[in-house]
A = this chain, B = another copy of it.
Amino acid sequence: MSDTIENTGAAADAAPRRGRNEGRGAAARRASRAGGGPGPSMPYIQRKIPVYEVLDEEALQLIERNADTVLEEIGIEFRDDAEALALWKEAGADVKGERVHFPKGLCRELLKTAPSVFTQHARNPMRNVQIGGNATVFAPVYGPPFVRDLEGNRRYATIEDFRNFVKLTYMAPSLHHSGGTVCEPVDIPVNKRHLDMVYSHIKYSDKPFMGSVTAPERAEDTIAMCKILFGDDFVENNTVTVNLINANSPMVFDETMLGAAKVYARHNQACVLSPFILSGAMSPVTVVGTLTQILAEVLAGASFTQLIRKGAPVLFGTFAASISMQSGAPTFGTPEPSLVSYGAAQLARRLGLPFRTGGSLCGSKVPDAQAAHESANTLNMTLLAGTNFALHSAGWLEGGLVSSYEKFMIDQDQLGMMQKMAQGVDTSVEAQAMDAIREVGPGSHYLGCAHTQANFQSAFYRSPLADNNSFEQWEVEGAKRIEERANALCRSWLESYEAPHLDPAIDEALLEFIAKRKNSMPDAFS
């Protein structure tokens, strides 16, 4: 516990190359003083704190029974995929048109071959992550077509932004995973951009990453690039990508998602089977109703991966938000999605599947107190629910339409706090501090005592962004809000970025593959 925090601080003092902006602003100076440099990455979280559970046994059984009823009586649609329907028929399901009805217990039986814990390999083995069990892995925002840049503009994202978020994620000590579509590089044709995205993850980071799911052939390209990076056999026998397969809720899997899922499962790569739920629109307005549908969808979708390849890793995913009945807009960080996610985590554990939910979700347009409250409510839940894979953990703004540089910096700081929190309470003799209490005694203070001197470096999480100075000091330094400090810190990180070493032969092979693939395609921007 202590070590990681201690190292972060220590390395920060030594690390920063003095960039142009760094010498100037008070915020940059503070960041440097406070250990704001990008310290060494921390390993994925191994939670030493218990999970928080909101559903009792009775409620859990009720939901499981109801989900079984949904699966059997209503069924799930597998659209435009004859292979999927044939596989379900063969497995014993009752297939009527594209609607698949599942005999009780079929999905659970199939899921027995799915691992409850697996390793996702990174090109740097130090960055391998455990998915499942007591592990929590933080990954950045996924999907936004827009960015809020460091000049304050809201504009379409570019590949340059994409690279920047990969770099920032690489540098952020508390992000364990490079994620996937950290933003949509809309300046690259839609049919080609997956190649640049996967390449950016490989080139600018050494953390594990996600593959393309927007078409089966793009999933195949991802696999091909992974094989160049890791070797053919390694990919077939290990998991090197985690891939987001959304259910088209309610109760539909479409051709695109099924196509990508089949490619990944076939190659032993992990799928995150995620109902994408705005309660009140894609599911009932109630928590239990929503959980029932989520469980049914995950049971159908996750067990499908086992029809493709027994033992292929698959996660129980849940993206939960509510919908404003006034405006129709999604809302985040409110109590109901938290209850849904807590409940889904329990259902996942009972199913023996790793669980994905949460992150730092918000609906705000700017990184203000609304954004922070919504993100913090979501993130606290994410940790305490025992989430194994937390997408959208940094940079998410405006309901996922925008990747924000400033919010990314603020979020990654909060992730560091969660990682410290997850270490729980040390009860060693040193931590008991009885000698310190004896030494200090009534009416004195602990600031200078031996125990404090020996332990303070590792005792408290040190935020590089929070300003806890006096009002007067803060005013002298320009009365800056946290997003201004985040802006300065972000600039200084990007200036000090250094790419991790990549074997030039691999790099060349990847670039060659990309060029060949791109040459075979017309430009398509939609």
A residues within 8 Å of B by Cβ? 33-34, 49-50, 52-55, 58-59, 62, 66, 69-70, 73-77, 99, 154, 248, 250-252, 279-289, 292-293, 322-331, 334-336, 338-339, 343, 363-377, 380-381, 384, 398-399, 401, 407, 410, 414, 417-418, 420-421, 424-427, 430-434, 436-438, 440-447, 451-452, 455-457, 459-463, 465-471, 474, 479, 481-483
From B365, B376, B441, give the contact of A474 (CB < 8 A). Answer: B365
Q: Which 7 A-B pairs have the closest CB atoms?
A: A289-B433, A376-B376, A372-B372, A284-B433, A251-B442, A335-B421, A369-B372
With a cutoff of 8 Å between Cβ atoms, the chain B residues found around residue A401 in the complex are: 471
Please, how many angstroms separate the alpha-carbon atoms of A233 and B492 in the complex? 67
Q: Are B366 and A62 in contact (CB under 8 A)?
A: no
Report B-chain residues with C-beta under 8 Å of the C-beta of A154.
471
Residue numbers in B under 8 Å from A417 (CB-CB): 334-335, 377
Q: What are 10 sample pairs from A and B whose C-beta atoms fall under 8 A apart? A: A74-B441, A154-B471, A252-B442, A280-B452, A284-B446, A329-B469, A331-B468, A336-B460, A368-B483, A369-B407
- Indicate if the CB atoms of B293 and A437 lie closer than 8 Å: yes
User: Which B-chain residue is minimally distant from A154 (CB atoms)?
Assistant: B471
Complex CA–CA separation, A99 to B442 (angstroms): 9
Closest Cβ neighbor of A443 among chain B residues = B252
Q: How far is the CB of A360 from chain B (nearest CB, A)?
A: 10
Q: Smallest CB-CB separation from A332: which chain B residue?
A: B468
Q: Are A455 and B285 in contact (CB under 8 A)?
A: yes
Most buried by B among A280, A284, A287, A452: A284
- A466: contacting residue among B74, B331, B466, CB under 8 A: B331
Q: Which residues of B contact A248 (CB under 8 A)?
A: 443
| A468: B residues at CB distance < 8 A | 324, 327, 329-331, 363, 399
- A430 to nearest B CB, angstroms? 8
The answer to whether A447 touches B369 (Cβ under 8 A) is no
Q: Are B292 and A432 in contact (CB under 8 A)?
A: yes
Q: Are A432 and B77 interface neighbours, CB within 8 A?
A: no
A45 to chain B, nearest CB (A): 12
Report whether A427 and B470 are in contact in the complex, using a CB–CB cutoff of 8 Å. no
Known: A99-B442, A441-B74. A456 touches B325 (CB 8 A): yes
Given the contacts A334-B461, A336-B461, A481 and B368 also touching, CB distance less than 8 Å: yes
Contact with A376, one of B372, B418, B442 (Cβ below 8 angstroms): B372
* A99 / chain B contacts, CB cutoff of 8 Å: 442
Write the nearest CB–CB distance from A372 to chain B, whole angstroms: 3
Query: Roughly how many angstroms separate A327 CA and B371 CA in the complex, as a whole number?
Result: 28
Shortest CB-to-CB span from A346 to chain B, Å, is 11
- In this complex, what residue of B is CB-closest to A146? B471
Q: Are A432 and B365 in contact (CB under 8 A)?
A: no
Q: Which residues of B contact A369 (CB under 8 A)?
A: 367-369, 371-372, 407, 410, 481-483
CB contacts (< 8 Å) of A447 on chain B: these are: 280-281, 323, 328
Query: For A287, A370, A421, A461, which residue has the most chain B Cβ atoms within 10 angstroms?
Result: A370
In the bound complex, residues from chain B placing their C-beta under 8 Å from that of A457 are: 325
Shortest beta-carbon distance from A119 to chain B in Å:
27
Q: Are B250 and A364 in contact (CB under 8 A)?
A: no
Cβ–Cβ contact A368 & B250, under 8 A: no
